[in-house]
Amino acid sequence: PVTIRRADYTPPAWLVPEIALHFDLGAGATTVRSELKVVRNPEAERTGNIRLNGDEIEPKSVLRNGAPCESWTMDGNDLLVSIDGEEALISITTELAPDTNSKLMGLYASNGMLCTQCEAEGFRRITFFPDRPDVLSTYTVRMEGDATTFPVLLSNGNKTGEGELEGGRHWAEWHDPWPKPSYLFALVAGDLVALEDSFTTMSGRTIDLAIWVREADLGRTQHAMDSLKKSMKWDEETFGREYDLDVFNIVAVGDFNMGAMENKGLNIFNTKYVLADPETATDGDYDGVEGVIAHEYFHNWSGNRVTCRDWFQLSLKEGFTVLRDQLFSQDMQGEAVKRIEDVRVLRAVQFPEDSGPLAHPIRPDSYQEISNFYTSTVYNKGAEVLRMMRSMAGEERFRKGTDLYFDRHDGEAATCEDFVRAIEEGADLDLKQFRRWYEQAGTPRVSAALKDGELRLTQEVPATPGQPDKQPMVIPLRVALFDRDTGKSSGERLVVLDRAEASFKFEDAPADAVLSINRGFTSPISLDVERAAGDLLFLAANDDDPFARYEALQELVIEHLLAEAGAEGAVHNDAADLAALGEAFGAILDDDALDDQMRGEMLLLPPVAYLCEQVLVADPVALHKAREGLKAWLGGELRERFEALHARASAVPYSLERKARGARKVKTQALAYLAAADAAAAAPRAKAQFDAADNMTDRQGALMVLAGLDRPERKAALADFHERFAGNDLAIDKWFALQAGSLHPDVIEHVKDLAGHADFRLTNPNRVRSLYMAFAANKHGFHAESGEGYRLVADLILQLDPINPQTAARFVAPLGRWRRMAEPHGTMMREQLERIAAADGLSRDTYEQVSRSLG
């Protein structure tokens, strides 16, 4: 496989200012004729050939300036056409078989409809084209097909014509006036209905909005529409961004590799991020829909109007757009809870990535398969890096920076460097050294100690693959000092650590102050604070920054669990420590000033994935057991209070208001604690919650608890759920995921049985993820002593790779953690990777991930 390097970028030799596409649609066979107006790029080296990328397609005919062209050649998958002058019209015909396209890249069939996915390199599976994001074209798309099979024909931009044809066929033509790269092209043809609405923009233009789904799903689209309108408004108010076409279409498809795709004016979504009603979607699903609708909509500016020069710049659009969707959701749902949730995901997914064999900077230096770099690092750490700039500049100055970025680069394919420079100038910030966040991988480790009003900080950036030596990063930290006696802080200050070590003097520090640092998670680092006994308990009770308060309790729990699991270097806790922990949790349950949303966050124990990050070599089984043990202990110790909480929360009627949502969150948590302590007593309570549920949050929560219990209620509830939601794919996905993620002792057997279930399909990514991602994240199943969990995941990768390599490759990372896992786990995980590596004909996707993981 070829390695592509960022340093090797050269501008395209030929540009394609215009493209016209003609589709003769059929699920079995689709003919594509493309007409490319190509012109020489004056800024590139002269060549006599234009390189048009292809992937699993053949040119049926090639015309140059209207005449058959003989002088074309193939170079691997690419078509090379010679051109003498400064410009040419090239016309190419290809034939596709959408219904056998199981990779779900390019044009494919899903539930009888046809749709496309082109990012990153799917357009080359449709027609030959310079399939790179720095070639921007205006698109005119004509589609024709059977009017009964494909009554709805959609593409990017605005519809410019439509009509009937003979033999029950019809056509439609769409034109997108905004030049765009090929990865933003989209087409949809199918039997769909729409929820329609409109939005008036800040300059008074009316935009027609439509959300297209299968008829049976129409009743589940209102929340998506509400989310879209809120997003449009928010982007005007917060970033000054107005929508720029007359229509905005969203289409939901059941077979999709990712969450959704921001194609210009025609976003295509996984049904999971469109459909929601109380009966079938949890509160978390509602938030997911709102967040992803916002994310894709926000891409219209951060991604589409200003796109990426090359795929190494992916974080330019993804990091920025994640930051924008996070800020939006903070405004919609409350800042503190959303921040805590985002940090939890970062630590459970991105931190392990950054400390493992797949670590890479937010702007990678090389890749073999770009699909492998749509990572938590590029997305979530990318967002954190921008958030740090925003913290240093302040909201207003940051906005000046983003305004300058959009102004300066509108219509361009830009780089991360362009973004940083715009923020530097617009926000008046020196980011020279800060740029290292784009270059260096690895989570910096910061140590902090406060003595006599002096804060001493040191930092170290760990070695990562290909980067043995690191330079100090710029690390902004919001800090407050608390008076131990009054419980009050003297205010917050931003310190910026930019050397290996530095000290900061706090003139007005109270004697013997308690340090609260990295408040709001200012920087994506791990922290080691020298603390006096009792400091964490103090902060968990007193800190006025909700994130810091949450963090203090998490730290206390982490200390306890590491000791319980016998982790190296952990100080063993005594009974008094455990009692103090019990009191701290009791206080969370009793604190009337906390709302239930926040209470729910505080009650969540840190995920095992993050616990594993605390030590060099982790024993996942011991950590999992310690975590379950603490849950059981707390459940027993605080039983009456959890019962009271469960009863109080159960009395709150269903609504989507924050209060009711908070009640549902703590309700299931109370249940989980009670079940950990006493399964026999909790099972009927869980079954009662299940049976009484008038919404999916309660029903799924109860079933989640029951799925982990070896009790008779389990079977009945699972059967009821399956029957109740037969035919609803998203709900059945939950049914698979709950069992695969369960604490049940026989989870491995369950997963094997489920893989043979009539509802299981390897060709549907949602179903595959619901069974196997849930299982790979289930420490108790995946890390089973027998090694069977690792084998199951490796079997899946081998089976799925020929069908859908992009999705298969996503399952390599869990096995890739082998170096950090205690024996015998590490060896057994590596053996499975070696077994995959030895297989013939691996995809480039899986090959790259496996070889990096073993390397």
| Active-site residue list | 296
Choose among ligand B3K, Zn ion, none what residue 143 binds, the Cβ cut-off being 5 to 8 Å by kind: none
Query: CB count, 10 Å around CB of 469?
Result: 7
Burial (0-12, 13-18, 19+ Cβ within 10 Å), 562:
buried
Cross-strand pairs, 181: none
Distance, in Å, from the CA atom of 663 to the CA atom of 595, rounded to the nearest integer, reads 9
Binding mask 631-670 for ligand B3K (x = CB under 6 A): ----------------------------------------
Choose among ligand B3K, Zn ion, none what residue 769 binds, the Cβ cut-off being 5 to 8 Å by kind: none
Q: Are strands 113-117 and 187-190 parallel, antiparallel or unpaired?
A: antiparallel
Distance, in Å, from the CA atom of 372 to the CA atom of 845, rounded to the nearest integer, reads 7
Please identify which residue in 261, 386, 517, 663 interacts with ligand B3K, judged by CB under 6 A: 261
| Cβ 295 to Zn ion shortest distance, Å | 5
Nearest of 396, 418, 398 to residue 408 by alpha carbon:
418
131 binds ligand B3K (CB under 6 A): no
Q: Residue with structure tokens 């991105």?
A: 350
Choose among Zn ion, ligand B3K, none what residue 212 binds, the Cβ cut-off being 5 to 8 Å by kind: none
Residue nearest to ligand B3K (CB): 119
Is the Cβ of residue 64 or residue 299 nearer to ligand B3K in the bound state? 299
| Cβ 213 to Zn ion shortest distance, Å | 22
Name the helix (H) or strand (E) containing 600. Answer: helix 596-603
Is the Cβ of residue 110 or residue 522 nearer to ligand B3K in the bound state? 110
User: Within positions 773 to 832, which residues make up the interface with ligand B3K, using CB under 6 A?
Assistant: none
208 touches 198 (CB < 8 A): yes
What letter represents residue 18's amino acid?
E
- Residue 832 φ/ψ, nearest 5 degrees: -70, -40
Choose among Zn ion, ligand B3K, none what residue 551 binds, the Cβ cut-off being 5 to 8 Å by kind: none
Binding mask 60-99 for ligand B3K (x = CB under 6 A): ----------------------------------------
What is the DSSP code (8-state) at residue 696?
H
Please identify which residue in 93, 282, 350, 371 interacts with ligand B3K, judged by CB under 6 A: 371
Q: Are strands 475-482 and 514-517 parallel, antiparallel or unpaired?
A: antiparallel
Instruction: Say how many residues make up the chain.
Output: 855
Strands of the 489-497 sheet, one edge to the other: 489-497, 475-482, 514-517
| Cβ 306 to ligand B3K shortest distance, Å | 14
The stretch near ligand B3K (CB under 6 A) out of 260-268, 276-284, 462-470, 810-818 is 260-268
User: Within positions 313 to 332, which residues make up the interface with Zn ion, using CB under 5 A?
Assistant: 318, 321
295 binds ligand B3K (CB under 6 A): yes
Distances (CA, A) of 508 to 454, 482, 486, 489, 535: 11, 11, 15, 11, 20
What is the DSSP code (8-state) at residue 418?
H
Assign residue 76 a region (left: φ > 0; alpha: ψ between -120 and 50; beta: otherwise).
left
120 binds ligand B3K (CB under 6 A): yes
Name the helix (H) or strand (E) containing 502. Answer: strand 501-505
The stretch near ligand B3K (CB under 6 A) out of 253-261, 512-520, 695-703, 786-794 is 253-261
Tell me the two tokens of residue 492.
Answer: 């917050």
Is the Cβ of residue 273 or residue 725 nearer to ligand B3K in the bound state? 273
Choose among Zn ion, ligand B3K, none what residue 804 binds, the Cβ cut-off being 5 to 8 Å by kind: none
- Residue 183 φ/ψ, nearest 5 degrees: -70, -15
262 binds ligand B3K (CB under 6 A): yes
Is the Cβ of residue 119 or residue 543 nearer to ligand B3K in the bound state? 119
| Cβ 317 to ligand B3K shortest distance, Å | 7
Tell me the two tokens of residue 420.
Answer: 């940083």
Is the Cβ of residue 124 or residue 295 nearer to ligand B3K in the bound state? 295
In sequence order, what are the residues at sequence separation of 6 or more whose Cβ sits closer than 8 angstroms to the Cβ of residue 504? 454, 455, 457, 479, 495
Choose among Zn ion, ligand B3K, none what residue 543 binds, the Cβ cut-off being 5 to 8 Å by kind: none
Distance, in Å, from the CA atom of 536 to the CA atom of 514, rounded to the nearest integer, reads 9
Binding mask 318-357 for ligand B3K (x = CB under 6 A): x---------------------------------------
310 binds ligand B3K (CB under 6 A): no
| Cβ 183 to ligand B3K shortest distance, Å | 8
551 binds ligand B3K (CB under 6 A): no
609 binds ligand B3K (CB under 6 A): no
231 binds ligand B3K (CB under 6 A): no
Please identify which residue in 115, 250, 258, 388 interacts with ligand B3K, judged by CB under 6 A: 258
Distance, in Å, from the CA atom of 230 to the CA atom of 106, rounded to the nearest integer, reads 31
Choose among Zn ion, ligand B3K, none what residue 228 binds, the Cβ cut-off being 5 to 8 Å by kind: none
121 binds ligand B3K (CB under 6 A): no
CB burial string 46-62: b at 16+ within 10 A, e below: eeebbbbbbbebebeeb
Is the Cβ of residue 119 or residue 564 nearer to Zn ion in the bound state? 119
Chain center to CA of 268: 16
381 binds ligand B3K (CB under 6 A): no
Distance, in Å, from the CA atom of 799 to the CA atom of 804, rounded to the nearest integer, reads 9
Is the Cβ of residue 263 or residue 846 nearer to Zn ion in the bound state? 263
Is the Cβ of residue 119 or residue 545 nearer to ligand B3K in the bound state? 119
| Cβ 299 to ligand B3K shortest distance, Å | 6
Tell me the two tokens of residue 180.
Answer: 């765009």
Distance, in Å, from the CA atom of 827 to the CA atom of 833, rounded to the nearest integer, reads 10
Cα angle at 422 between 420 and 426, to 5 degrees? Answer: 125
119 binds ligand B3K (CB under 6 A): yes
The site for ligand B3K (CB under 6 A) is made up of 119-120, 258, 260-262, 295-296, 299, 318, 371, 374
The site for Zn ion (CB under 5 A) is made up of 318, 321
